[in-house]
Chains A and B, each alone.
Chain A
């Protein structure tokens, strides 16, 4: 008989306990977001509101321009993601399928810059963006983020796994390089592209420091920045704060539930390359 350190039952109990701890903040957030003000501060805590105050959500969205924030977040996330996919596809194709002078050096330099923490680039990028007149604009929020070395690297690996003969076959079938990329490579790399897109969506939706410094006006704030400002505005109205937090978190949670396979495989791959 196999000697196990822990029985199946113990494993389940330990994992469930951990899972409860992981979920507790979310549960508490949603619970608070649905409470009437008098229940929020009740001791002992009330887990299930006696009356569900869905009105908290509309009250929160009215007390700050969350509609605008939401719209901005969507615009920024969608455009950043599309932009990154385009630049990544083209660059990964060049690195995996075209032989050109300086390829090795360019690739090495790009990989090298991956070591540099983004925080270090913050100030010079701020200067650049303000020189371009992009402070407080969509350009400033989007353009610096539409290329990612990590994504290029990931997709390049994927492209390498497409046999060379397939590109020969496509050439013979009348494809130019660009058509081959578009009609063959891109459809074949769909899983990798979905992964790249999802990681970008998550990163872009949740980004904070950069949107914080390049936006001044309310009209261009993204959700996290708007939410952070809201903490000061809402004061101690925790039910509104939690409702607002839920609105920020929920879209990503839903997206993750639907597409978790791709997200997790992308994260796992980032580990395997190490």
Chain B
């Protein structure tokens, strides 16, 4: 390719213009804006005027017990969803990868929830979680478990949310793991088999290490996505953050402050904190991910 000229530069930006226009207005500008907004302490949305700046939003934020609850709940949610989801999806991916017939068929089924509306499936699950007539309590009842108030008891709201989220996200992880597994050359397994390694040993000493970059990617993506949970909560608890704020997460908190209470400064400050957390994990991914490059 030839060096850029002014003519080619003009052409380049012309082609880029539509995408760039949208991305600048709706991705780049808002990043800067939300950074600034988190320092607005006195803001009038209707006239879009700022009367005062300051760090007040952040101090207020961390003094707000609801925000602390939101952080805590988000943390619990991440810990509840990510490891379980990874273990289950890895297990399923390995099974699917074991050269059986119908593996494409199973893959399709496991992937189904991914393409469906969170709101719609959350509503379906809220019916399944129904304490008197729900399917789940009925099935548990067959094993002698007393009916559980899944959606109305603060203790069980979070587990219900976790179950729904794992079910919804499994397919994505499985596909990524399958792609990772199929990337591992067959020669390693052949070599190991010649060496007489058992299936479990093969898994432990070949699959897992060679899959570690994928594993890492899936973990980070799952963590990031888990931090952003909102739609599920809104639909599962019918527009409330669970009983007694038991499913109040950071994004839900942002939504409350912003859309219900019109506290723009506080809401952007909370969003900014969320961004910092996610940013941290992305950076970890980049740094640790670099190390993994030497693996293959």
Same complex? yes
The answer for the CA separation of A265 and B119 in the assembled complex, in Å, is 25
| B268, CB-defined interface residue at 8 Å | yes
Contact B4 A264 (CB under 8 A): no
Instruction: Find residues 1-55 in chain B having any chain A CB closer than 8 Å to their own CB.
Output: 1-4, 6, 8-13, 15-23, 25-31, 33-34, 37, 45, 48
Contact A271 B175 (CB under 8 A): yes
The answer for the CA separation of A25 and B230 in the assembled complex, in Å, is 20
Q: How many residues of B contact A (CB 8 A)?
A: 113
Query: Min CB distance, B58 to chain A, in Å?
Result: 15
Q: How many residues of A contact B (CB 8 A)?
A: 104
- Given A29-B124, A43-B133, A245-B120, A127:B48 Cβ within 8 A: yes
| A23, CB-defined interface residue at 8 Å | yes
| B228, CB-defined interface residue at 8 Å | yes
Contact A8 B100 (CB under 8 A): yes
| A249, CB-defined interface residue at 8 Å | yes
Name the CB-closest residue of B to A202.
B115
Instruction: Find residues 89-109 in chain A having any chain B CB closer than 8 Å to their own CB.
Output: 90-91, 93-95, 97-103, 106, 109
| B156, CB-defined interface residue at 8 Å | no
- Provide 20 A-B residue pairs closer than 8 Å at the C-beta atoms, listed in order of the A residue: A15-B95, A15-B96, A22-B167, A26-B124, A93-B15, A94-B11, A100-B9, A100-B12, A121-B27, A121-B31, A128-B29, A147-B23, A147-B26, A208-B117, A228-B234, A238-B130, A248-B119, A253-B112, A263-B111, A267-B176
- Residues of chain A having any CB pair with chain B under 8 Å: 2-6, 8, 11-12, 14-15, 18-19, 21-26, 28-29, 32, 40-41, 43-45, 86-88, 90-91, 93-95, 97-103, 106, 109-110, 113, 115-128, 131, 143-147, 149, 152, 164, 177, 202, 205-206, 208-209, 212-213, 223-225, 227-228, 231-232, 238, 241-242, 245, 248-249, 252-253, 255-257, 260, 263-264, 267-272, 274
